[in-house]
Structure 1
């Protein structure tokens, strides 16, 4: 079983190593690319992930083997765009999105009003509700997708975000119609993808198409 783990904004491959180590112990072969998700819109990063996917496929996979994908935050949007654009869809198994702003981020909307900020940190601009409204996502690919949201945080940003949230992303933004399963866990945005409970849900979804309930 092979898994590509995709980190989020202003992070690098090391941010997904804890989850990768757990999944490796469960028998997965893990790949953690280091992506430029700080100064680039997330949708222009997709070609880099597809190149990795192509390399994994060409390196040899079993006749019934699929490549699973898991992404934290912006990494989940990269996965959704990959599913829309890739020519390797038949090789992709199940996908899990963790703390992903599928409907946009209220904080990104606020940041976009700060002069010059999103001109430098272009990834943030691509997380705004206005930007995402213009990104084409194909939701009927036949790939089973599960999403995990957090609803706990001590971050100062929390009062600025309406409704339940993980300190950065609203729970309502993580959910979108068409998901195979959806789970809310009591963790913040910066910790949810480092928690063993989260790892167990990811593993279970890859194996069965549902989280632990």
Structure 2
């Protein structure tokens, strides 16, 4: 089986933030696409359209039955993946999704900051997807792995409870239908950059589990 891994960065970042993970995965033998999205100010719909077009290009360029597409979403990249894959036009293209430190619903930090800055979502429009009643659901045919940081750090940690990475907490990142979930003692800004994380990603892609004994 051949795998093509597609990296999707988070809020207020660019593809550069995913370069360490790209380099680690390439050293492990993967073909990696590191995409760039306007995930700071424009509505997330612009990024959804970009990701959809990328996936359709893959489909019509002639994917073989032995090639699997793996999307790795960090931070808000997880919500971008989910919202894009709701579109029937891209159904069946993606085989696996790995979410790293990705809030799947409204977060404590987001809610608290909105109380202080009511216009937050009007300025940083991608954050609108983190609504109180937002849902997260991927096709049952897609294997989903979740990696969550549990090293509290930074000024927001006191809001987030015992298990957090300083930006999102454990509960905000849980996906009940995930095939595997992994907790790592790392902070939000580093969890996707470590070689150890890349090795766990490799395990999930190749074996369907993060930890191999």
TM-score (ref. length: structure 2): 0.90
In the alignment, is the contact (CA less than 8 A) between 1:3 and 1:28 conserved in 2?
A: yes
Match of 2:120 in 1: 117
In the alignment, is the contact (CA less than 8 A) between 2:10 and 2:75 conserved in 1?
A: yes
Match of 1:156 in 2: 155
Tell me: CA distance 1:103–1:164, structure 2 relative to 1, closer, same or farther (3 Å): same
Give, in whole Å, the separation in 2 of the partners of 1:127 and 1:134.
Answer: 6
Aligned residue pair count: 209
Give, in whole Å, the separation in 2 of the partners of 1:200 and 1:210.
Answer: 11
Tell me: CA distance 1:52–1:197, structure 2 relative to 1, closer, same or farther (3 Å): same
Query: How many angstroms does 1:96 deviate by?
Result: 0.3
In the alignment, is the contact (CA less than 8 A) between 1:112 and 1:125 conserved in 2?
A: no
* Structure 1 runs not aligned, ≥5 long: none
Give, in whole Å, the separation in 1 of the partners of 2:72 and 2:88.
Answer: 16
Query: How many angstroms does 1:173 deviate by?
Result: 1.0
Match of 2:89 in 1: 87
Match of 1:206 in 2: 205
* Structure 2 runs not aligned, ≥5 long: none
Tell me: CA distance 1:86–1:43, structure 2 relative to 1, closer, same or farther (3 Å): farther
In the alignment, is the contact (CA less than 8 A) between 1:99 and 1:148 conserved in 2?
A: yes
Query: How many angstroms does 1:180 deviate by?
Result: 0.6
Query: How many angstroms does 1:86 deviate by?
Result: 4.5
Match of 1:185 in 2: 184
Tell me: CA distance 1:69–1:125, structure 2 relative to 1, closer, same or farther (3 Å): same
Give, in whole Å, the separation in 1 of the partners of 2:159 and 2:137.
Answer: 31
Query: How many angstroms does 1:31 deviate by?
Result: 1.0
In the alignment, is the contact (CA less than 8 A) between 1:148 and 1:184 conserved in 2?
A: yes
Query: How many angstroms does 1:24 deviate by?
Result: 1.5
